[in-house]
């Protein structure tokens, strides 16, 4: 059995760790609530935005419209943007995104990898996977400004023909602390990517001055909205993952503290018993002499 001194040192260390994990749990809870509000506010907007894009694609179907935003080019590479976090201590949040990105990249020839979040870039570099560019921005504080900057980066590659597909891999939050990594195609805009969007009321759309001009104007706005939603979903999932990890760590610390306190009580009782035995033995020795 460990000495009382050793047990006290371990107990003090674990209690300090518990204070840290509990503080991070409370902070994650607060951030989680704010993130969930942002996501809920954005759901209706995203439904309208994707519904609009589906209407445009359906109304241009069969109209002879050919545009690089809706026609997949045979030339170019596939761009993958892995959206991870800037910090750890959130369970398998970051590794799940990285592993799914590796799986999807293996299906393409000479894929291009962009990484958002410091942890994701480190993960890929440590495994000798080339990260072409590290996108800047805070993973826990997504903004329209960051989404717009990322849109400009990826559209520059797409419009130049260097890449012919853009995919985003990120952790999506599904509510009730349920989140897991998904891979979505941002461009080109293919009709079967919008099968989950509800049909809107039938109406004839008029494009002024032309469908091509409308697409050229609206697609960057659509991409910005989609990327902003991706960043918010990832931020909410990260808060949820860190909340779960810190809650579990705090619970484990409580269990270890309870066990160490029991060990300390047992050690104290043993020490007291040994002292009584020594005193009794000394008394017997004096009486015998």
Averaged pLDDT, 273-279: 79
| Of 135, 156, 154, residue with least CA distance to 146 | 135
SS3 call for 172:
strand
Domains of the chain: 4-24+245-284 (1.10.287.80), 27-244 (3.40.1380.10)
Threshold 0.75, pTM exceeds: yes
SS3 call for 185:
strand
Q: Return the pLDDT at 170.
A: 95
Whose tokens are 């570099």? That residue is 125
Q: Average pLDDT, whole number, for the chain?
A: 83
What is the pLDDT confidence band of residue 289, given thresholds at 50, 70 and 90?
low
Q: Is the pLDDT of residue 63 over 70?
A: no
* Distances 93 to 1, 82, 155 between C-alpha atoms, Å: 39, 12, 27
pLDDT tens digit string along 90-135?
A: 878 888 999 999 999 999 988 999 999 888 888 888 888 889 998 8
Residues in the chain: 289
Q: Is the pLDDT of residue 260 over 80?
A: yes
Residue 58 near residue 191 (C-beta atoms within 8 A): yes
């Amino acid at each position: 059995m460990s000495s009382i001194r050793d047990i006290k040192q371990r107990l003090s260390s674990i209690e300090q760790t518990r204070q840290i994990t509990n503080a991070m749990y409370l902070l994650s809870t607060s951030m989680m609530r704010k993130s969930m509000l942002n996501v809920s506010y954005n759901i209706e907007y995203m439904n309208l935005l994707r519904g609009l894009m589906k209407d445009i694609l359906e109304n241009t179907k069969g109209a002879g419209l050919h545009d690089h935003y809706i026609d997949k080019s045979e030339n170019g590479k596939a761009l993958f943007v892995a959206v991870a976090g800037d910090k750890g201590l959130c369970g398998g949040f970051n590794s799940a995104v990285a592993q799914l990105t590796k799986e999807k990249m293996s299906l393409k020839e000479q894929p291009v990898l962009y990484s958002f979040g410091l942890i994701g870039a480190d993960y890929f570099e440590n495994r000798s996977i080339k990260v072409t560019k590290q996108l800047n921005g805070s993973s826990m504080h997504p903004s329209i400004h960051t989404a717009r900057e990322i849109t400009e980066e990826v559209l520059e590659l797409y419009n130049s023909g260097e890449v012919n597909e853009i995919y985003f891999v990120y952790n999506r939050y599904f509510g009730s602390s349920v989140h897991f990594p998904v891979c979505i195609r941002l461009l080109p805009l293919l009709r079967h990517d919008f099968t989950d969007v509800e049909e809107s009321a039938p109406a004839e759309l008029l494009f002024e001055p032309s469908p091509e001009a409308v697409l050229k104007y609206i697609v960057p706005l659509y991409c910005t909205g989609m990327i902003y939603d991706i960043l918010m979903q990832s931020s909410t999932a990260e808060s949820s993952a860190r909340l779960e990890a810190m809650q579990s760590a705090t619970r484990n610390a409580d269990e270890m503290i309870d066990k160490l306190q029991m060990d300390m009580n047992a050690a104290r009782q043993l020490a007291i018993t040994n002292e009584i035995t020594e005193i009794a033995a000394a008394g017997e020795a004096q009486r015998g002499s």
